[in-house]
Amino acid sequence: METKRYALIDFRRKLIRDPPSKIRNKRNTQMSIRSRLLVRSAVVLLIMSAMLFLTAGTLRFWEAWVFLAIMFIPMVVFSLYYSERDPQMAERRLQGKEKVKEQKVIIIVFQLIFVTAFLITGFDYRFGWTRELAGGVPLWLRIVAQGLVLAGYLAAYWVVEVNRFASRTVQVEPGQQLISTGLYGLVRHPMYSAIIVMWLFIPVALASYVALPLFALVIPIFVLRLLSEERVLKQELPGYVAYCQKTRFRLIPHLW
């Protein structure tokens, strides 16, 4: 009887703390965020599929199928995971409108590079430019590159797991805390490091040496972005200046 009485008290306390209306609102918010994440994933999948397969002129582009699976299976899994576990973080990942003027320009340039690079990759597969110039990309290298693309992609999600304030836009959220553990103890911008690794191996994974210079253009783009981002963080995030003094390298340990 005593156990039942304590259980009833705990149940009443839970109702007071989380009434049904609050639970319903929370659930509706999670469903809305989940739906938006999945819709965005589907739209990006369709766009990238069109860029690769229409320019390649065939669906027998197995490297593209593997690449798309690497990109979108984790995206869907993590979208479902974070929309349930941390809706606020998932909401931040949905934000795409930059507030800093120079970041808006950087994003536009990045988008132009993104589209052009993938279109060139598809055309390279159709017309065989890499095969004519270099005899093609060896099968073993394409497989290794696919693995490194996946590794870079998962490392980016690891950064998000460590730093729940990691946003797609440059901003400092109310209550944001400085993160200096995990990969943040090695470099100040591990997200960009992971994405750069991923981008450098995407054209090789898609059997294109010709598109590699275009994909490599993301390096100066991310350098400009992180330098601008650091100016914002030094002004608005408490402790960031001291963190920069302790963690000297931005992208590559012991180099820069």
Q: Which amino acid is at 176?
A: Q
Which residues are within 8 A (CB) of 244 and not within 5 positions of it... i.e. 6 or more apart? 188, 230, 234
Greatest mean pLDDT range, 52-61, 93-102, 162-171: 52-61
> How many alpha carbons fall within 13 Å on the CB side of residue 75?
18
Q: Please state, in angstroms and rounded to a whole number, the distance separating the CA atoms of residues 59 and 122.
A: 11
The pLDDT of residue 3 is 53
- Asked if residues 98 and 169 have their Cβ atoms less than 8 Å apart, the reply is yes
The whole-chain average pLDDT of the chain stands at 83
- A 10 A CB-CB count for 48 gives 18
Going along the chain from its start, the domains and CATH numbers come out as 2-246 (1.20.120.1630)
Dump pLDDT digits (tens) for 6-60: 455 554 555 556 555 444 444 545 567 778 878 888 898 999 999 999 999 999 9
Find the DSSP H helices in the chain.
2-17, 20-56, 62-85, 87-94, 101-127, 129-134, 139-162, 190-205, 212-216, 218-236, 240-246
Count of residues for the chain? 256
Least confident stretch, 59-63, 64-68, 183-187, 190-194: 183-187
Checking if the pLDDT of 2 tops 80, the result is no
pLDDT tens across 197-217, in order?
999 999 999 999 999 999 999
